[in-house]
Every structure is written in C-alpha cells, then in structure tokens.
C-alpha cells in the first residue's frame, strides 16, 4: 500500500485537530497479524514512498539512519506469547493485533490474551471489548505491577540494533513505543509543506495525480520543475 501525498495531507490535518483515530485506522489498514508485522510493512512503505532515511535524535544529536539498515535488523517474527504466574493466576501476554491511540505506556487491554484463575481458563481473544475489559479490570491490583515488571525485564518482544550508536534505540512491542514512534513519523509535515507543493505543482500536474503521488514522486517533480526554471532565469 502506497503512502501518498494526499494521505499524508489528510493525516496531518487530522493530527493537528488532535484526532488520532484517522491515523490509527490508517496504520491498522497495513497488512499483518499484529502490530509487529504492520510496523515492518509501514516502514517498508515509508522507505519506498517517502524517504530512505529516518531522522532521529541520538544523545541529543540529529542523526540520519538508513531505513534499509533498520529493516535488516528486524527479525522475521517475534515470539507471540509470554506467560507469567502468580499464586493461582496465570496470564498469557501477547503482541497486540492492532494499534491503539492510548496514552498508557502498556496497552494492558490489548496484550492480555488468556487468563487462568483457580483452574478456570478464559480466552480473552474470543470476547467482546466490554467483557474483556470487565474481566481485566477485576484482576488484583498487584497483577498490573507484575505485568509491568515482566515486560520491563523480558526482551523477547523487543527489537534492538547492533550498531553501538543505536544502543538506546529500541521497540518493545508489548508497549506503545511502536505507535508513539509512528505517530511522530507521520506528524513531521507542516501545513506549509502541503501548501508549497500545491502552489508550485498544481499548474503542472493534475490535482488527482498530485494527491495520488508519493512524497518521493513529489520530490522528483519539484527537481524536474526547478531544472526547467533555472536555465530560464539564467537566460
């Protein structure tokens, strides 16, 4: 699925209105059985359609990282389940199936997949959101601290990178870190960017074609347009 100029314009407008629902729906439209698979496919599309590099701050310094390197460090799959026990309660945690616009670090309602209490097994994936949330809310308060500790100490759902410069660059897929990263990634464009592109290219390119073009296409159009204009100025 292509990331187009029109899509970025729509998402930017939505985010400026503090409405993340459109972004969440768009991210979840990418292929993948869970947010790990979707995340990888989003980065692949970003590299193909938007830019080959990520602009991040490492130790306070703006740094460009090749997306090809980031993707090469991703495993094919992550183990899907993590089991924890406490007295007569056993929980199976798993990577969320979809992104959610939660302000919580750990999307508790999305990662608890199964519960076994005093020998009674409950598969939460088969329940409605209301029933699932009701059951999770009834868990003893100490369970939440245990889950946080378990996730903090377990690395099986964490993607890290071998480059020493990226030692603090990581994605824990049992937390909202991947979503927060993508939210920042898709929020990097200002209204002026879209206005400038439309102003300079709308007379040259059909409106629908412009909106359906990728940002890399837009960059190419602008470079070609500039190469036509500059010789005229010189003459």
pLDDT of residue 219: 92
Pair (173, 213) in one structural domain: no
pLDDT of residue 101: 87
Task: Report the pLDDT value the prediction gives residue 46, as an integer from 0 to 100.
Answer: 97
Q: What is the mean pLDDT of residues 206-234?
A: 82
pLDDT of 51 above 50: yes
Q: Is-contact 79 33, C-beta < 8 A?
A: no
- How far is 193 from 9, CA to CA, in rounded Å? 9
Same domain, 34 and 44: yes
Question: Is 164 in the same domain as 135?
Answer: no
Angstrom CA distances, 67 to 52, 56, 131, stand at 6, 12, 40
Q: How confident is the model over 53-90, as pLDDT tens digits?
A: 988 877 778 888 999 999 999 998 887 688 888 878 89
Dump pLDDT digits (tens) for 33-43: 999 999 999 99
Report pLDDT digits (tens) over 66-75.
999 999 999 9
Q: Helices 215-234 and 5-16, interaxial angle, to 10°?
A: 110
Q: How many folded domains does the chain comprise?
A: 3
Judge if 150 and 114 occupy the same domain: yes
- pLDDT at residue number 179: 96
Q: Are residues 54 and 65 in the same domain?
A: yes
Domain boundary among 108, 141, 158: 158
Contacting residues for 122 by C-beta, under 8 A, at least 6 apart: 114, 115, 116, 135
pLDDT digits (tens, 9 = 90+) for 156-197: 899 999 988 888 889 999 999 999 999 999 988 888 999 999
* Helix 191-201, helix 5-16: angle, nearest 10: 140
Q: Are residues 90 and 105 in the same domain?
A: yes
Do 72 and 166 belong together in one domain?
A: yes
Contact 175, 158 (CB under 8 A): no
Parent domain of 32: 5-77+160-185
Measure Cα distances from 83 to 80, 177, 202 in Å. Answer: 10, 21, 55
Judged against a pLDDT cut of 60, whether residue 233 lies above it is answered with no
Shared-domain flag, residues 164 and 73: yes
- Do 221 and 205 belong to one domain? yes
152 to each of 35, 169, 195, how far by Cα in Å? 19, 15, 44
Q: Are residues 31 and 97 in the same domain?
A: no
Regarding whether 110 and 50 lie in a shared domain, the answer is: no
pLDDT of residue 234: 40
Instruction: State the pairing for strand pair 158-159/120-123.
Output: unpaired
Would you place residue 235 in the very low, low, confident or very high pLDDT band (cuts 50, 70, 90)? Answer: very low
β-partners of residue 53 are: 66
The angle that helices 35-49 and 21-28 make with each other, rounded to 10 degrees, is 90
User: Do residues 168 and 73 both lie within one domain?
Assistant: yes
Percent of the chain at pLDDT exceeding 70: 97
Helix (H) / strand (E) element for 233: namely: helix 215-234
What is the model's pLDDT at position 41?
97
Q: Which pLDDT tens digit goes with each residue over 102-141?
A: 778 899 999 999 999 888 899 998 888 899 999 999 988 8
């Amino acid at each position: 699925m292509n990331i187009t100029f029109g899509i970025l314009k729509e998402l930017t407008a939505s985010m400026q209105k503090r409405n993340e629902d459109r972004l969440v729906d768009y991210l979840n439209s990418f292929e993948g059985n869970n947010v790990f698979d979707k995340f990888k496919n989003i980065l692949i599309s970003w590299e193909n359609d938007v830019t080959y590099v990520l602009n991040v701050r490492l130790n306070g310094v703006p740094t460009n990282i090749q997306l090809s390197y980031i993707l090469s460090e991703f495993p094919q799959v992550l183990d899907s389940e993590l089991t924890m026990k406490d007295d007569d309660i056993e929980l199976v945690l798993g990577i969320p199936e979809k992104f959610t616009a939660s302000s919580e670090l750990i999307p508790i309602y999305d990662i608890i997949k199964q519960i076994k209490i005093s020998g009674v097994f409950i598969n939460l994936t088969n329940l409605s959101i209301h029933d699932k949330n009701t059951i999770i809310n009834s868990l003893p308060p100490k369970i939440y601290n245990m889950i946080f500790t378990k996730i903090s100490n377990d690395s099986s759902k964490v993607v890290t990178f071998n480059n020493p410069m990226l030692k603090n660059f990581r994605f824990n897929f049992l937390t909202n870190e991947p979503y927060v990263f993508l939210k920042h990634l898709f929020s990097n464009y200002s209204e002026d960017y879209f206005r400038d592109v439309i102003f300079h290219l709308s007379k040259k390119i059909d409106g629908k074609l412009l909106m359906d073009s990728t940002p890399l296409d837009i960059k190419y159009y602008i470079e070609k347009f500039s190469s036509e204009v500059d010789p005229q100025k010189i003459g």
